[in-house]
Amino acid sequence: MHLKNLTIRGFKSFASATSFTFEPGVTAIVGPNGSGKSNVVDALSWVMGEQGAKTLRGGKMEDVIFAGTAGRPPLGRAHVSLTIDNADGALPIDYSEVTISRTLFRTGGSEYAINGSSCRLLDIQELLSDSGLGREMHVIVGQGQLDRILHATPEDRRGFIEEAAGILKHRRRKERTLRKLDAMQGNLQRLSDLSAELR
């Protein structure tokens, strides 16, 4: 599995559609300070499901949409798509190439897609979670992040290991199921109160 292509339009400093094609092996992106190198990495995190505006170096999620420059007006949407070579079947989906995409509209809505079909954010997160490209993004080591890992509490460090080992996905599923069970218990309680009143 390797990343094949990243296409960015309206995301941070990339107002026009910009496409990066990656070959297997190491790719280096070089450029002057402030030219948008970290924005490329932010686009990668974002399309893979990152939900924290701060992780993306902004105050709110809308900050990822091109905000305009002296010569160019702001845009109404940010769009990023990432094509992953899946010839080795590392992603649990029957396609040798998988394109995930994410769009955010300034008016508030979001769209996610896998190979052009609309899906939920959860579908993208689950698709990637066994591949090591998990939601916590330990595959992306940002500036200062090594310090954060070295200074993490033992619990947080266990979280990193669980994410890398693919356990976190099952923990999250368990949490979601427990929340549903809790809601169901509440409903059952209300039902039994009502039936007691009717007796």
Interaction of residue 13 with ligand ATP, rule CB under 6 A: yes
Q: What is the DSSP string of 115-152?
A: TTEEE-HHHHHHHHHTTT--TT-TTS--TTHHHHHHT-
- Cα distances (angstroms) measured from residue 93 to each of 22, 88, 89, 115, 125: 21, 11, 7, 11, 13
CB 76 within 8 A of CB 62: no
Nearer to ligand ATP, 65 or 127 (CB): 65
CB of residue 9 to ligand ATP, shortest distance in Å = 12
Number of chain residues interacting with ligand ATP (CB under 6 A): 14
Determine the Cα–Cα distance for residues 36 and 32; give it in Å rounded to an integer.
9
Among candidate residues 151, 109, 138, the one with its CA nearest the CA of residue 48? 138
CB of residue 6 to ligand ATP, shortest distance in Å = 14
Nearer to ligand ATP, 78 or 98 (CB): 78
Contacts of 98 (CB under 8 A, 6+ apart): 83, 84, 86, 91, 114, 115, 127
Going 115 to 116 to 117 to 118, the CA torsion angle's sign is: positive
Q: Would you list which residues are annotated within the binding site? A: 32-39
Of the listed pieces 58-66, 85-93, 132-140, 149-157, which binds ligand ATP according to CB under 6 A? 58-66
CB of residue 198 to ligand ATP, shortest distance in Å = 58
Using CB under 6 A as the binding rule, the residues of this chain from 78 to 107 that contact ligand ATP are: none
CB of residue 74 to ligand ATP, shortest distance in Å = 8
Ranked by CB distance to ligand ATP, the top (closest) residue is: 38
Interaction of residue 12 with ligand ATP, rule CB under 6 A: yes
- Cα distances (angstroms) measured from residue 124 to each of 59, 82, 117, 133, 153: 24, 12, 12, 10, 29
Interaction of residue 63 with ligand ATP, rule CB under 6 A: yes
CB of residue 15 to ligand ATP, shortest distance in Å = 7
Interaction of residue 30 with ligand ATP, rule CB under 6 A: no
Nearer to ligand ATP, 41 or 133 (CB): 41
The footprint of ligand ATP (CB under 6 A) covers 12-13, 31, 33-39, 63, 65-67
